[in-house]
Amino acid sequence: MKLKQLESELGHLVQFQSPKIELEQYPTGAHIASRMMYMAESNFGDICGKSIADLGCGCGTLGVAASLLDASYVIGFDQDLAALDTAQENCRDLEIDMDFVQCDVKSLGLTRISVDTVVMNPPFGTRRKGADMEFLSVALKIARTAIYSLHKSSTRQHVKRAALQDLGAKTAEVLFELRFDLKSLYKFHKKQELDIAVDLWRFTV
Ligand SMILES: C[S@@+](CC[C@H](N)C(=O)[O-])C[C@H]1O[C@@H](n2cnc3c(N)ncnc32)[C@H](O)[C@@H]1O
């Protein structure tokens, strides 16, 4: 599938109806999600024919993109049932076969789940400090090859050091920096928090 077509399909997905701020529920927009997933496939071959886990899948954007890029198997994990219901509806509409599990992502670190590639837009840790690194720690346990993840650019040095020194990543590379616009979702945020710089990372194990 071409990039433009992928972006267009993702642009039609239903997103969080009443986002829960304590779970940092904001969708990855179609422009960012399509480029993130397209790059994972076209530059690194990490999606087509691979098993994929979408951690904190929300309404399913990244997992759906993986399916549209011909992943062999896709599973999404999220704590929130309402988001998972929407994700399932999105899959039904597109006739996509994807599994979903309701759980706290932290619990996956204790399981034997193993996939080729993990994709995620984790909570940035603004509501619960360290949430992003908890997701990364789990991702590094269950991925056999690579992890694609979004983190605030302001945490770049910390993410790199923790991934390489504490969490066992073999490599940690920022693929590109982007801006995440939370304006329309959380209207009561302070202005400087609305448009934030975010890194797309690729970690290998
Ligand atoms: C920033 S949103 C990303 C949603 C979706 N992946 C996307 O890209 O549009 C973070 C997601 O993580 C979920 N989440 C937050 N903490 C979680 C946890 N401890 N375990 C499982 N899911 C969690 C939220 O419900 C939310 O759907």
Shortest-distance Cα residue to atom 11 of ligand 1: 56
Summarize the confidence of residues 138-143 as an average pLDDT. Answer: 98
* Extended beta strands in 2-49, E state: none
Which pLDDT belongs to residue 127?
82
pLDDT at 185: 58
Which atom in ligand 1 lies closest to the alpha carbon of residue 15?
9
197 to 26, 28, 61, 183: CA distances (angstroms): 15, 14, 20, 13
Has residue 187 got a pLDDT over 60?
no
ipTM greater than cut 0.90: yes
- Write down the CATH superfamily of domain 3-204: Vaccinia Virus protein VP39 (3.40.50.150)
Residue 83 has pLDDT above 90, yes or no: yes
CA distances from 183 to 18, 93, 150, 194 (A): 15, 28, 18, 5
Of all atoms in ligand 1, which is nearest to the CA of residue 58? Answer: 27
Q: What pLDDT band is residue 32 in, cutting at 50, 70 and 90?
A: very high
> For residue 61, what pLDDT is reported?
98
- Judge contact between 87 and 100, C-beta under 8 A: yes
Angle, alpha carbons 104-21-66 (nearest 5°): 55
Is residue 190 pLDDT above 70, yes or no? no
Give the contacts of 32 (CB within 8 A, at least 6 positions apart): 150, 178, 180
Which residues form ligand 1's pocket by a CB distance below 6 Å? 23-28, 56-58, 61-62, 77-80, 83, 104-106, 121, 123
Among the atoms of ligand 1, which is closest to the Cα of residue 122?
10
Q: Which H/E stretch holds residue 181?
A: strand 171-181
Mean pLDDT of the chain: 94
Distance from Cα 131 to the centre of ligand 1, integer Å: 10
Mutation to probe ligand 1, out of 25, 119, 120, 128 (largest number of atoms < 8 A from CB): 25
Structure token digits, residue 133:
């690194």
Q: How far apart are CA 185 and CA 176, in angstroms?
A: 24
Q: What is the pLDDT of residue 189?
A: 54
C-alpha 144 – ligand 1 centre gap (Å): 22
CB crowding 14-46: b at 16 or more within 10 Å, else e: ebbeebeeebbbbbbbbebbbbbbbbbbeeeeb
In this predicted structure, what is the pLDDT of residue 184?
56
